Structure 1
Amino acid sequence: MGFYRNIILPHLCDVSMRSPLLLPYRERVVGSAEGTVLEVGAGSGLNLPLYGAGVREVLALEPDPRLLEMARRNANQARRPVTFLDASAEAIPLEDRSVDTVVTTWTLCTIPEAAHALQEMRRVLKPAGHLLFVEHGLAREESVCRWQNRLTPFWKSISGGCHLNRPIRAMIESAGFSIDQIHTGYAPGPKPMTFLFEGSARPNR
């Protein structure tokens, strides 16, 4: 259990997001953000220092009071202005077409109504905006999928609602996005927990 908590599943313990195994993924995704950025599931704010000069401001949405307080303390490391939103992803308190980029990093696995949350992300994105993501979810191999389906009921009960078996690409496309690019594969660790989707998508017109 210690291996999972410290390396593979950052939502079990937010401090594990500091793992050097996960940093390259976050750097690529966050480093591509531009303009006004909505980060959904900002956690304790570990992504905040990674936003570059192309970002005007970061709107950091986080519903967990404990993590939100940690993020506020960590905001002094951010290079761009940060505004915190104490809200859920299923009801984003922003106007339609008001942000240039939405960022999610290992977030969609835990949102209770993830399909509705993705529709909300599409609603607040400008027509030319992008959803940038790195998420873990349902693998390609049938044998791994079977294990993911078997483990998820127990796993989500001990990991803050994390689902191992969400079909990330299909969820994004079903919410009204077109995939611009996507890379899939396994991070180091047990296959049921480490199949990743990394890429970008844009709202359908």
Structure 2
Amino acid sequence: NVPVYPPEVERVHAVDPAVVGRKLAAKRIAASKVPIDFVGLDGQQIPLPNASCDTALSTYTLCTIPDPGRALAEVFRVLKPGGTFHFVEHGLAPDAEVVRKQHKYEPLNKRLAGGCHLTREHWALLEAAGFELDRRTAEYGKGPKPYAFHYIGMARKPA
């Protein structure tokens, strides 16, 4: 995401549960015009004040965090009223046969893909955390269906 931050972005407080991901992004982070600091690994305790952030972004992070409900509660806490949360995540598909395969493959997938869960239903998680869903798309991307169902959207903390 680093190369495409708009000019309005002043600072990024990053959470990344995958140490490998941080290593892979190191060159882009070093070259970034936007200051980036890491504030945690799993998002379950973000050391920032309440209502201190305008926007939060999650790119294939909620699917790997051990407790996504707790992480979303932290995102909700640090967002200002009216703040937005943009996301793209792997998750539970709508088709019964694909869901069966997702449950079957998930234990191995978690071990091979940095803890990535295939069976999380992100709309319910976001709503349970108090977010209002402004934009939402759920669709299959490229690749085998059990691994390729994505939740994409924007949620808002009520003003």
Do the structures match in fold with TM over 0.5?
yes
Amino acid at match of 1:133: F
Matches within 5 A, 1:134-153: 134-153=88-107
Question: Once the two structures are superposed, what CA deviation does each residue of 1:69-107 show, in whole Å capped at 9, x if it has no partner?
Answer: 554443232232222324430011111000000000011
1:84 is paired with a residue of what secondary structure? strand
> Could you tell me how far apart the structure 2 residues matched to 1:129 and 1:182 are?
16
Identity in percent? 41
Question: Once the two structures are superposed, what CA deviation does each residue of 1:115-159 show, in whole Å capped at 9, x if it has no partner?
Answer: 100000000000010000011100111111111111112221222
Corresponding residue for residue 185 of structure 1: 139
> Could you tell me how far apart the structure 2 residues matched to 1:105 and 1:138 are?
16
2:115 is paired with a residue of what secondary structure? coil
**Runs of at least 5 residues in structure 2 that lack an aligned partner in the other structure:** none
Q: Is the 8 A contact 1:48 1:77 kept in 2?
A: no
> Could you tell me how far apart the structure 2 residues matched to 1:67 and 1:167 are?
23
Evaluate the alpha carbon distance shift between residue 70 and residue 162 of structure 1 in structure 2; reply closer, same or farther with a 3 A threshold.
closer
How far the C-alpha of 1:64 sits from its partner, in A, is 4.7
Among 97, 101, 108, the alignment partner of 1:154 is: 108
> Could you tell me how far apart the structure 2 residues matched to 1:70 and 1:188 are?
22
Q: Is the 8 A contact 2:18 2:114 kept in 1?
A: no
Alpha carbon RMSD of aligned pairs, Å?
A: 1.8
Mapped pair 1:173 → 2:135: no
1:149 is paired with a residue of what secondary structure? helix
Matches within 5 A, 1:5-44: none
> Could you tell me how far apart the structure 2 residues matched to 1:189 and 1:75 are?
29
Which structure shows the higher helix fraction?
Answer: 1
> Could you tell me how far apart the structure 2 residues matched to 1:68 and 1:147 are?
30
Evaluate the alpha carbon distance shift between residue 148 and residue 87 of structure 1 in structure 2; reply closer, same or farther with a 3 A threshold.
closer
Q: Is the 8 A contact 2:59 2:88 kept in 1?
A: yes
**Higher deviation after alignment, 54-63 or 175-184:** 54-63
> Could you tell me how far apart the structure 2 residues matched to 1:69 and 1:164 are?
24
> Could you tell me how far apart the structure 2 residues matched to 1:165 and 1:113 are?
13
Q: TM-score of the superposition, structure 2-length normalised? A: 0.91
Question: Once the two structures are superposed, what CA deviation does each residue of 1:28-85 show, in whole Å capped at 9, x if it has no partner?
Answer: xxxxxxxxxxxxxxxxxxx212101121211122355554455444323223222232
Q: Is the 8 A contact 1:48 1:75 kept in 2?
A: yes
Corresponding residue for residue 150 of structure 2: 196
Mapped pair 1:89 → 2:43: yes
Corresponding residue for residue 3 of structure 2: 49
**Runs of at least 5 residues in structure 1 that lack an aligned partner in the other structure:** 1-46
Deviation beyond 6 Å, 4+ runs, structure 1: none
Q: TM-score of the superposition, structure 1-length normalised? A: 0.71
2:10 is paired with a residue of what secondary structure? strand
Q: Is the 8 A contact 1:137 1:168 kept in 2?
A: yes
